[in-house]
Amino acid sequence: MATIKPQAKQSEAFDPKEVRQDFPGLSAMARGRTVVYLDNAATGQRPVSVIDATSRYYREYNASVHRGVHALSQRATEAFEGARESLRRFLNAERETEIVLTKGCTESLNLVAATYGRAFLKQGDEVLLTTMEHHSNIVPWQIVAEEKGAIVRPIPISDTGEVLLDEYERMLSERTKVVGIVHVSNALGTINPVKEMVRLAHSAGAIAVVDGAQAGPHLPIDVQELDADFYALSGHKMFGPTGVGILYGKQALLERIPPYQSGGSMIRSVTFPKSEYAPPPAKFEPGTPNVAGFIGLGAAAEYLMALGRERIEAYEQRLTGYGTELIAAIPGVKLIGTAEHKCSILSFIVDGIHPHDIGTVLDSEGIAIRAGHHCTQPLMARMGVPATARASLAFYNTAEEIDALAAAILKAKEVFA
């Protein structure tokens, strides 16, 4: 398999067909043909470098990290903490101690709601969330708000799927304590103006919590420039292993909030009268971590940085534009989510055909998409649809695969004519 040459790739023209050689999963067969994989918003494929990094850990230095004095433990710890440094650079965080390793984006968002929310929300406070939030950045805040007597309010969006910034600004008040923002909508592809929304949240005295699950695979991310207070990432969506994720938090906030879970590794000392907690990030990382998973996630971050995220973004913008024009031109097809700034999502409905039936026909043609509400039921209600068919793209997808998608949609129309 081909591997990325870290310096060479940056300046070369982007060739998705060359990059595809790094992803063995793209050769998977189903229904007697090679799968056209267009379900990247659900999970990405894994490059060889990630597969090798996790396998190497198990083959060569399988040991628990931290506190071990033997050679294998020291080597595992070095690789584990090296992955944290890779993730710090991936997000341009100021310090490694601002990178908390979690089980995924969902746990990261639950961590913030359960710690910051329970510690600082009170009766009558407000949490503002965009209408296009994933359920994982809605339900945790609802749970805490119910406990504390706070209120969760949706920030309205336009028919094209864009946040109404004027409305958002009018909603902000001294009661606003938290603003939740999805960086890239998993159901629409909308790229939200995170930097401006964070600035407005801070002007009202609120913190900003950003769900970056869909931004991680597609966009350059600079948490210092965005000034986000918390930023959550999903490992498997950015071509890393499943079951791992990241929570970036500003150092001062991580020091203020209480632990999310407790046990070994997150303490400085334990006595029966009282326990003292370790400083961040250890305070939020109890128990034995997914060592292989985080080493693999570090490798995924290195892969994306070597490939060049600006190049990824530019190529995917062209591919998304091509797909938008092609799919929108099919009679009876309506795209859901047509924001001016969007990426990598082609979410659509077809007159007279349920999205699940579209997905079934496309599967028979060897094309993998997702159909449903995509864990965004409030968004679906706002857009006036129960569900959509969603083709989600990555940098290894090609125009020829978009052509195959369009042909399969036409086949579905024939089947249900």
Catalytic annotation, residues: 375
Rounded distance between C-alpha atoms, residue 41 and residue 347, angstroms: 11
Structure tokens at 197: 């929304």
| CA count, 13 A, side-chain hemisphere, 316 | 25
Rounded distance between C-alpha atoms, residue 233 and residue 211, angstroms: 7
| Beta carbons of 6 and 306 less than 8 angstroms apart | yes
Structure tokens at 354: 């349920």
Buried b (16+ CB within 10 A) or exposed e, 364-387: ebbbbbbbbbbbbebbbebbebeb
Buried b (16+ CB within 10 A) or exposed e, 113-127: bbbbbeeebeeebbb
Residues 6+ apart with CB under 8 A from 321: none
Structure tokens at 230: 């918390």
Instruction: State whether residue 216 is helix, strand or coil.
Output: coil
Q: How many helices (H) and strands (E) does the chain have?
A: 16, 17
Rounded distance between C-alpha atoms, residue 414 and residue 417, angstroms: 5
| Beta carbons of 165 and 192 less than 8 angstroms apart | no
Q: Where are the alpha helices (DSSP H) in 180-262?
A: 194-203, 223-226, 251-256
Torsion of CA 63, 65, 68, 73, to 10 degrees: 40
Structure tokens at 303: 């892969």
Regarding beta strands 388-392 and 370-372, do their DSSP bridges make them parallel or antiparallel, or are they unpaired?
antiparallel
How wide is the angle at C-alpha 365 spanned by C-alphas 359 and 369, nearest 5°? Answer: 35
Helix (H) / strand (E) element for 411: namely helix 399-415
